[in-house]
Structure 1
Amino acid sequence: MDLKQIRYFIVVCELRSVSRAAEILDVSQPSISRQIQLLEAELRQHLLRRTGRGMEPTEAGLRFLSHARALDKLANHARQDLQSFQSPTQGKVRLGLPPRIARRLTPLIVQEFRAQMPNSSIRIVEGLSADMRGWLIKSKIDLALLYDPTPAAMLSYETIYREDMVLAYAKTCRPRPPKNIKAGQLERYPLVLPSRPNSIRTLVDRICHDAEISLNIVAEVDVVQTAVETISYDQVYTIIPRSAIHDTPHRKELTFSCIKEPVIKNSLVLAMLVHGANPELTQTTAHIVRHIDMAKYMA
């Protein structure tokens, strides 16, 4: 067996899907299936079975999964140790941030990290939450701030900030919504929203589905700031975190309505691998992030 086979097996077990694992790992489905077949042949055990809930480990697969996670953790530690050995600094931590969060928090995080870990280095990686969740699973980053991530047994989650979502639009937009709008009234307005699996779209779809609300989505724009720019020039609306309005140069031309009944709140979550490499640097960085006054920097 090799580390690639072990990693593929772990990710398939976590996601219960070969196709989703292939998407996260950026390899073809046949490649994953072939490597797992080779692993099963070497172990002389069936490790996975297909059920109505997806791919699940067999009894032998569950037994092997604990060993696989331990081996994967050990390999990550070895990789990090050799990287630290080759570097003049004592280790590097990789922190993923959504672009809007990165603009606000990077200077503070870097300053605090240098003060607490002067002989180590930090790399800030920007990306969409759905992408960074995959990077975490693939060990391309050590920890990240994610918006409303889907569960994964390989990852630990800790909510550090929640923010109201609002209906945003140009001040010249007609019809002009009231300052407080019920969620059921959102279907009256032509909306520009990101496509799935963007965290905003996933959150809004879930809330509206539960409330039996049918949205009028006239365009899908995957980058939040581009969506905000779009509503500055057209008679359309969008649903975004309240603080996102302040990130556009056209903010003076925009306004918003608070969404009620139900209130829609996003969750900014600190995510880490349960068995990640370089736990000291990762925990130090997580401590720095936890102690940021998010309300101050997101205002």
Structure 2
Amino acid sequence: MRFEQLRYLEAALRTGSFRQAAKELGVSQPTITTQVQRLEEDLGVVLVVRGAQGVLPTYAAQRLLPHAQAAIRAEDLLRQEASAIEGMKVGSVRIGTVATGNMLILPDVVKRLRDEHPNIRFEVAAGGSTMVRRGVIGGHFDLGLLIRLSMDESHEDDDRLAYSDLMSGRLVLCVPQDHRLAQVESLDVAELSGEPLIFFTKGSILRVAFEKLISGIEANVVFEADGAETAQRMVRAGVGISIANSLAPSTVSGNGVVLVPINEPWARATLSVAVRRDEQRSVVVQTLLRLIRESPNR
């Protein structure tokens, strides 16, 4: 059994395709297929089956995959620790982040780290807080930048993560400047009943917050936005009302948009960095975490 075989198996099951796994890892499809078969022979179990939906894990693969992922992370850590002996000449770090972290935190810290260690490579995936949280827990990211709300008292997997809070903001409603609610000083949620609303796609913490805010009233969702800037443009065009996080650079009053405070105790939003709890981290990841916590943009 070799580390490459574990990587091939993990990629095939994650992508659901030998072809896609081969493309991602830069090898031929027959190489992936052959090495996974040899891994099955070595372990004495069947790991994958081909179905109408692509490559699927067997029960044995589901049991063994977490151990394979741990072995892959251990190899990455071993190689990076070895390179650290030479002064972090090479290394990589995988980051999952929400758009706010991408804009406010990463440009500064990536520049600072690369100024000192120009051969460090960054793999960054942007998405919603749910995607980032799951990616960190599953080992796909070394760390994640995500938004947490005060109402998020606990997640079932939070005992597997450690958080450092970086900055806090508030949730606000974004309404067209000529809308009647643009003049209110204190929002009565009942006034949103029947109003055209701009929601966010599933996985966004803002969607969760909006659903909580309008619980119990008639919701008239007319558009689902894939990001904060898209939602702001729709509000500006008069399509409807949306919700926003004051930390996002796009959340500003003016140019056709008025921000109305949401005076709910749970409506505080915090940008946090998350890592897996009680896990040894490479020198590269440790250094990046330190820079994130020291970021002047906090």
Is TM (by shorter chain) over 0.5? yes
**145 and 162 in structure 1: CA distance in 2 versus 1, 3 angstrom threshold:** same
Equivalent residue for 1:236? 240
Q: Distance in 1 between matches of 2:69 and 2:140?
A: 17
**204 and 70 in structure 1: CA distance in 2 versus 1, 3 angstrom threshold:** same
**95 and 70 in structure 1: CA distance in 2 versus 1, 3 angstrom threshold:** closer
Equivalent residue for 1:146? 146
Q: Distance in 2 between matches of 1:197 and 1:291?
A: 29
RMSD of aligned residue pairs (Cα, Å): 4.8
Q: Distance in 1 between matches of 2:252 and 2:170?
A: 21
Q: Distance in 1 between matches of 2:281 and 2:230?
A: 37
**69 and 107 in structure 1: CA distance in 2 versus 1, 3 angstrom threshold:** closer
Q: Is the 8 A contact 1:76 1:276 kept in 2?
A: no
Q: Does 1:218 align with 2:207?
A: no
Equivalent residue for 1:54? none
Measured after TM superposition, the shift of residue 203 of structure 1 is: 3.3
Alignment-mate amino acid for residue 240 of structure 2: V
Q: Is the 8 A contact 2:163 2:275 kept in 1?
A: no
Q: Distance in 1 between matches of 2:179 and 2:72?
A: 54
Identity %: 20
Alignment-mate amino acid for residue 170 of structure 2: D
> Which digits, 9 at most, give the CA deviation of each residue in 1:112-151, with x for residues without a partner?
3246x43652526251134444554565542220224965
Q: Distance in 2 between matches of 1:153 and 1:235?
A: 37
Q: Distance in 2 between matches of 1:44 and 1:152?
A: 32
Alignment-mate amino acid for residue 156 of structure 1: L
Alignment-mate amino acid for residue 94 of structure 1: R
> Which digits, 9 at most, give the CA deviation of each residue in 1:196-219, with x for residues without a partner?
1222112332x348x645533221
Task: Give the counterpart of 1:3 among 3, 6, 20.
Answer: 6
Q: Distance in 1 between matches of 2:70 and 2:140?
A: 18
Measured after TM superposition, the shift of residue 234 of structure 1 is: 1.3
Q: Distance in 2 between matches of 1:293 and 1:183?
A: 37
Q: Distance in 2 between matches of 1:7 and 1:97?
A: 22
Q: Distance in 1 between matches of 2:194 and 2:263?
A: 15
Alignment-mate amino acid for residue 236 of structure 1: G
Measured after TM superposition, the shift of residue 165 of structure 1 is: 0.7
After superposition, residues 127-276 of structure 1 pair within 5 angstroms as 127-129=126-128, 130-133=130-133, 135-136=135-136, 139-148=139-148, 152=157, 156-160=161-165, 161-176=167-182, 178-205=184-211, 207-208=212-213, 212-244=216-248, 246-247=249-250, 251-274=254-277
TM-score w.r.t. the length of structure 1 is 0.65
**292 and 238 in structure 1: CA distance in 2 versus 1, 3 angstrom threshold:** same
Measured after TM superposition, the shift of residue 224 of structure 1 is: 1.4
Equivalent residue for 1:17? none
Larger % of helix: which? 1
| Bigger mean CA deviation after superposition, 72-81 or 233-242 | 72-81
Equivalent residue for 2:52? none
**70 and 192 in structure 1: CA distance in 2 versus 1, 3 angstrom threshold:** closer
**199 and 40 in structure 1: CA distance in 2 versus 1, 3 angstrom threshold:** farther
Q: Is the 8 A contact 1:95 1:144 kept in 2?
A: yes
Q: Is the 8 A contact 2:172 2:260 kept in 1?
A: yes
SS of 1:257 mapped into structure 2? strand
**220 and 69 in structure 1: CA distance in 2 versus 1, 3 angstrom threshold:** closer
Measured after TM superposition, the shift of residue 43 of structure 1 is: 7.4
Q: Distance in 2 between matches of 1:65 and 1:274?
A: 19
